[in-house]
């Protein structure tokens, strides 16, 4: 048996070597043709002519034609033959690269996400799939990689480092070091995803340090909200190379001074771009790139993604050339994507044709030399099949109103304070309203009850507390999008409506729900892992708009209440959060009682 095993291993190694040689041979043949086209000896596949071409390395505009062969840029100059694309009077710029994004936050399937962002000029993304991992484990990430394999959008992934984000959260199953290494064996897996357990890293915990030294990882992304001084030194000394959680100029400047890449973020519920823009205006584009992190589907369709950041930055004084660097070559260099991010010989032929440098709305988008979007629409490509096993993730126990009761002697309680446009919260202390010895929601004071219910293993475990900042006057709203473990999170004015929300989430297999007076007023089913719809993006946006309108009619005052709600369960973002295990003081990194 040992001999047979050795022979089998030798045979498999031979096959792998042969496959590798074959792949290198094909690459060599492609390179030979690319060189021939660059010399002018062979006709290119495609020539884009007449445009002002952006040279990302020097921030110049060049009056040259671009030749493409086998999906790569062959050269810049004048070329004969090939398919011609007239871009006269327009600007040819590199395809946009999103330096850090959670595809799942779009609430649509991965192929539908591509249909949303390709018309906006995004041709490559670096995704951290820890949302799907918290619900479906490593199998969910491998499924995602498989689905994204044939998309016209290039999807790279970072192996999630914190599933769960902390010991205070309850995913379906933790992601182990072995799971992470299994992910890193796959094509398009780059490095270690955002290390959210910054207290563990700073403390030198061996379990966290092992994750920072995985086989096959090229680099490690960071996540260090508010971390400054010696604690930041310790965090960066661990080998972490980037951060996207800075909310102030001073914080971002210190991190950049100490060598960290700064991913300027403009998400649906974390609007940090304008606060951090002086970092680029005063110190240039080095060690900086754009990222969207988490964007709702309505924002993607109406505003865009990275192109929206370009537009916003230019409106507020940034040179268009600098914005384009942050949107392309900056992100490529941050992640070691050496053949992305520029229109240059040998680089992937990913580029956009822009009518102007104000709106940043492409008239045409090319991926590897192939037209993939035009006039605001992605060209058709097949929809991906969704296997049944990813639709069976909702496993929450039923809850009763009496389980939500909070006894009170009238003393102060800790309250989560929502900050509009941010994912950080305040940790407040308030005297609760009481009835018959129980603390209750008081909509007149904007003091609402919040609950997180474990939904992966039907444990019945729930955390309960109070939140202010939503403005709701009656009813309740709930979601199975609750970063990062994605248990069910509910905010409401009455225990009865909170229970009704949970029951409806159980009935539809996860999603978003609004209830008032025990009646379901609206819902958006998300049957894929309780995170994604299987419907087209525009239909999802219509239903999300309807839900936002209902919440507003009930008194809600936030533009994106579900997005704001979803981050209240993230136990690694200051200052106070809530999970199914209770209240989390993030600055102390400890569970704390409701009473102060």
Sorted by where each begins, the domain ranges of the chain are 2-89, 94-340, 389-592
Residue by residue, DSSP assigns 479-504 as ES--TTTT-EEEEES-HHHHHHHHHH
User: Do the beta carbons of residue 108 and residue 297 sit within 8 Å?
Assistant: yes
Specify which residues 338 forms β-bridges with: none
Buried b (16+ CB within 10 A) or exposed e, 139-170: ebbbbbbebbeebbbbbbbbbbbbbbbbebbb
Residue-level pLDDT at 533:
97
Residue-level pLDDT at 558:
95
pLDDT, tens digit (0-9, with 9 covering 90-100), for 158-216: 999 999 999 999 999 899 999 999 999 999 999 999 999 999 999 999 999 999 999 99
May I ask the CATH class of domain 94-340? alpha beta
- Report d(CA 257, CA 236) in Å as an integer: 12
Q: Which of 60, 58, 38, 55 is nearest to 47 (CA)?
A: 38
User: Rounded to two decimals, what is the model's pTM?
Assistant: 0.92
For the record, the structure tokens of 477 come out as 């709203």
For the record, the structure tokens of 585 come out as 């003081």
pLDDT, tens digit (0-9, with 9 covering 90-100), for 79-98: 999 999 999 999 999 999 99
Q: Which residues of the chain have pLDDT under 70?
A: 1-26, 28
Residue-level pLDDT at 392:
85
DSSP single-letter state for residue 118: G
Q: Name every residue whose Cβ is closer than 8 Å to that of residue 542 and which is 6 or more positions away in sequence.
A: none
Residue-level pLDDT at 22:
33
Answer yes or no: same fold for 2-89 and 94-340: no
CATH homologous superfamily of domain 2-89? Urease, subunit C, domain 1 (2.30.40.10)
Radius of gyration of the chain (CA): 25
In this structure, what are the phi and psi dihedrals at residue 447, rounded to the nearest 5 degrees?
Answer: -115, 105
């Amino acid at each position: 048996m040992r001999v047979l095993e050795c022979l089998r291993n030798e045979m498999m190694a031979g096959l792998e070597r042969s496959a590798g040689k074959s792949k290198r041979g094909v690459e060599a043949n492609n390179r030979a043709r690319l060189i021939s086209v660059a010399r002018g000896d062979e006709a290119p596949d495609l020539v884009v002519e007449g445009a002002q071409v952006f040279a990302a390395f020097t921030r110049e505009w060049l009056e040259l034609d671009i030749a493409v062969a086998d999906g790569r840029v062959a050269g810049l100059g004048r070329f004969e033959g090939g398919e011609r694309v007239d871009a006269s009077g327009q600007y040819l710029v590199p395809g946009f690269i999103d330096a850090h994004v959670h595809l799942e936050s779009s609430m649509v399937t991965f192929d539908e996400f591509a249909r949303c962002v390709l018309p906006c000029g995004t041709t490559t993304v670096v995704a951290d799939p820890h949302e799907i991992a918290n619900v479906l484990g490593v199998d969910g990430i491998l499924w995602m990689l498989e689905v994204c394999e044939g998309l016209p959008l290039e999807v790279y992934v970072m192996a999630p480092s914190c599933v769960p984000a902390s010991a205070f959260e309850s995913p379906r199953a933790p992601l182990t070091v072995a799971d992470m290494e299994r992910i890193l064996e796959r094509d398009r897996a780059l490095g270690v995803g955002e290390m959210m357990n910054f207290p563990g890293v700073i403390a030198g915990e061996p379990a966290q340090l092992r994750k920072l030294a995985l086989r096959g990882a090229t680099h490690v992304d960071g996540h260090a909200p508010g971390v400054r001084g010696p604690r930041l030194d310790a965090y960066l000394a661990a080998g972490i190379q980037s951060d996207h959680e800075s909310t102030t100029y001073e914080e971002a400047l210190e991190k950049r001074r100490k060598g960290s890449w700064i991913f300027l973020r403009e998400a649906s519920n974390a609007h940090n771009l304008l606060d951090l823009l002086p970092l680029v205006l005063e110190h240039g584009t080095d060690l900086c790139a754009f990222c969207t992190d988490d964007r709702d589907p309505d924002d993607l369709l109406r505003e865009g993604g990275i192109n929206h950041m370009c537009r916003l930055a230019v409106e507020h004084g940034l040179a268009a050339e600098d914005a384009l660097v942050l949107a392309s070559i900056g992100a490529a260099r941050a992640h070691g994507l050496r053949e992305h991010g520029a229109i240059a010989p040998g680089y992937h032929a990913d580029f956009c044709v822009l009518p102007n440098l104000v709106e940043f709305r492409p008239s045409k988008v090319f991926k590897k030399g192939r037209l993939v979007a035009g006039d605001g629409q992605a060209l058709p490509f097949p929809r991906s099949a969704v296997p049944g096993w990813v639709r069976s993730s909702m496993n929450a126990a039923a809850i009763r109103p009496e389980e939500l009761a909070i006894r009170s002697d009238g003393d102060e309680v800790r309250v989560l304070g929502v900050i509009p446009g941010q994912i950080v919260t305040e940790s407040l202390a308030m005297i609760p309203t009481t009835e018959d010895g129980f603390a209750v929601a008081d909509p007149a004071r904007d003091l609402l009850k919040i609950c997180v219910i474990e939904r992966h293993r039907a444990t019945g475990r729930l955390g309960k507390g109070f939140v202010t900042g939503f403005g709701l006057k009656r009813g309740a709203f709930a979601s199975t999008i609750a970063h990062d473990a994605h248990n069910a999170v509910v905010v409401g004015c009455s225990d009865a409506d909170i229970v009704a929300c949970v029951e409806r989430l159980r009935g539809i297999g996860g999603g978003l729900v609004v209830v008032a007076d025990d009646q379901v007023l609206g819902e958006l089913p998300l049957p894929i892992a309780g995170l994604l719809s299987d419907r087209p993006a525009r239909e999802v946006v219509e239903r999300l708009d309807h839900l936002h309108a209902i919440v507003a009619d009930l008194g809600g005052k936030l533009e994106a209440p579900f997005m704001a709600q979803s981050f209240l369960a993230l136990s690694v973002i200051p200052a106070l959060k809530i999970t199914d295990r209770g209240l989390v003081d993030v600055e102390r990194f400890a569970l704390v009682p409701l009473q102060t």
